[in-house]
Chain A
């Protein structure tokens, strides 16, 4: 009975908070997001390595032209199933500015595992100047920094449409019903067969949008698998502990008359 009541109290508290934050986030007038059954969702979900690697390819060949990913280092690629040799090879393809050397000069060398993925522009103003005044945000945390997370990213990337339903977007902006305000400065970045997947998967807009969204989810939350598996152990421990303590409590309190 005591357990029942405490569960009720706690459930009420959780519900109360849920109502508040859930609705706190529901601002904006954008279209309802497409919901994807991600491999990484659910209490035991893990990242689909092949999908995340394809997403990395989309990022490298498409997004990286304008967007940075500054919190990810090449060594992190080993976490999504690339071997050390593969990760080293990917890093070595990039020229990284280093220095100053003993003479005081900056120099360029091949990338190493310890390097962070270099940004396409030297600074924010250069990024803005090349993109019609709009700053292409860093993508490291984008999956956590947008309401709807990966569903939003997928809906947005695959949601551009020619028919703007009467929306007038100004010059330099493009219609997308999933974007809050419906007009954004990024034109549709992907098209069917824009890239050729290494693993031979047909590169449709839908496929690429999904893959890169999965990749960006990993980039924003690289410890998710470790977190869920530790959480499972912690919950099992706490439930057993709760059971034992409840039994101990009953036994000790039975002494009272």
Chain B
């Protein structure tokens, strides 16, 4: 059932440039499995968050000044003198955190239900690229207010590249645009921070093209077999996604209006001072697990490589996982290892927030090793040893059987 209309003008237009039918296909008739649960809400929430970040960011850029001697003042000017400037800035800063909450939940959903497996490897891999670009964008955005954490975070992170042999120091000088983090660095970070969200936007487009090519996975992990298994995007998922936006909006609003600085660091309200190093340099919360991996390796170069490998390993995950069953619901052992892995990531995040010394260093080393063992060893090996539970024959059968049993329970 493709797009039909009696309107001659729209027909003429759509025949030459099929925007209307593409939109209709994407947002109205595209078939989705009927059994998607709440874990599948975060993709559309991420789309909204990206849009919100771009809109608030464009307005903030109208009032912000990317210069080392003016940046901090211009942010305070936004907070105090620009109409609703405080709202824009708090939405943008907390929006970044909400963006990462949603993206991590979206990724754990993918890990739990095996969304990365054939034939959906491209969707997953584009997603990992989006994550990398998001991280670069978030990092550079945190530098822009030019507070103490901005400056020292930028110094620590850019210095990581100096660990590379031979090319390390020239690369760092090139990144800085000079011999220290200074005005050229701030200028280029601002330029790139403005550019990269549009790159993400393009990548999201590819992510969706790949998604529509193979269709969404679902909690059962079996493919759509017939018309009884799927429902159209509209009205079923439009209404469900809008509910998701409103519910997620409540969480977002609690942070923006009551805890706007909770996820930030007090030191970033001190103007950058290259002569005073903060006692404890910590990145934003969403980098803490990776920061813990970086610091748990005694060698600087190997630490940097481990940190990048922690994301790089996600690229090859579709080939590391040897199990033919997608959903963890039918993988009795993987289900346990999934939750242990999730816990491991939280432990890494906590370790990243603490000084790297004593017991905490030992814990972060164990957690780092487990992170890689999960992907490199457990994922391939589980596929061989695990006895998956029998899969249902179709989505509709499983859904209707579940409905029958719950309604029977309600009647009893």
List A residues at the B interface (Cβ < 8 Å).
Answer: 2-3, 5-6, 9-10, 13-14, 16-17, 19-21, 23-25, 27-28, 43, 71, 76, 137, 140-141, 144-147, 149, 180, 220, 222-223, 226-228, 230-232, 234-235, 238-239, 241-242, 245-246, 248-249, 252-253, 256-257
Assembled-state Cα–Cα distance A146/B148 (Å):
12
Chain B, 241-284, CB within 8 A of any chain A CB? 242-244, 246-251, 253-254, 256-258, 260-263, 265-267, 269-270, 279-280, 282
Contact B235 A252 (CB under 8 A): yes
Is B246 in contact with A242, judged by CB distance below 8 angstroms?
Answer: yes
How distant is the Cα of A2 from the Cα of B349 in the complex, in angstroms?
28
Q: Chain A: which residue is nearest B263 at the CB level?
A: A21
Choose one: B240, B247, B250, B266; the contact of A25 (CB below 8 Å).
B266
Given A10-B251, A17-B263, A17-B285, A252-B258 contact (CB < 8 Å) = no
A71–B349 Cα distance when bound, in Å, is 36
Q: Are A28 and B246 within 8 A (Cβ)?
A: no
Q: Are A253 and B265 in contact (CB under 8 A)?
A: no
Shortest 5 CB-CB distances between A and B: which pairs?
Answer: A231-B257, A24-B353, A145-B269, A245-B243, A242-B246
- A238 and B253 alpha carbons, distance in the complex (Å): 9
Bound Cα distance A211, B86 (Å): 25
Measured CA separation A234–B91 after assembly (Å):
13
* Interface membership of B79, Cβ < 8 A: yes
A25 touches B76 (CB 8 A): no
Interface SS, A side: helix
Assess the A21–B353 pair: CB atoms within 8 A.
yes
A227 and B87 contact, CB distance less than 8 A? yes
| Contact in complex: B251, A19 (CB < 8 Å) | no
In the complex, residue of chain A having the shortest beta-carbon distance to the beta carbon of B403: A257
Q: Tell me, rounded to whole Å, the shortest Cβ–Cβ distance linking B275 to chain A.
A: 10
On chain B, the number of residues with a Cβ less than 8 Å from chain A's Cβ atoms is 56
A226 and B249 alpha carbons, distance in the complex (Å) = 19
Which B residues lie at the A interface, using CB under 8 A? 34, 37-39, 41, 76, 79-80, 86-87, 90, 97, 101, 104-105, 231, 235-236, 239-240, 242-244, 246-251, 253-254, 256-258, 260-263, 265-267, 269-270, 279-280, 282, 285, 288, 346, 349-350, 352-355, 400
Supposing A17-B97, A21-B262, A256-B231 touch, asked if A145 and B350 sit within 8 A by C-beta, the answer is no
- Complex: how many Å from CA A10 to CA B247? 10
Contacts A21-B262, A21-B285, A145-B270; A27 near B280 (Cβ below 8 A): yes
- Whether B266 pairs with A228 at a CB distance below 8 angstroms is no
Quick check: B258 and A231 within 8 Å, CB to CB? yes
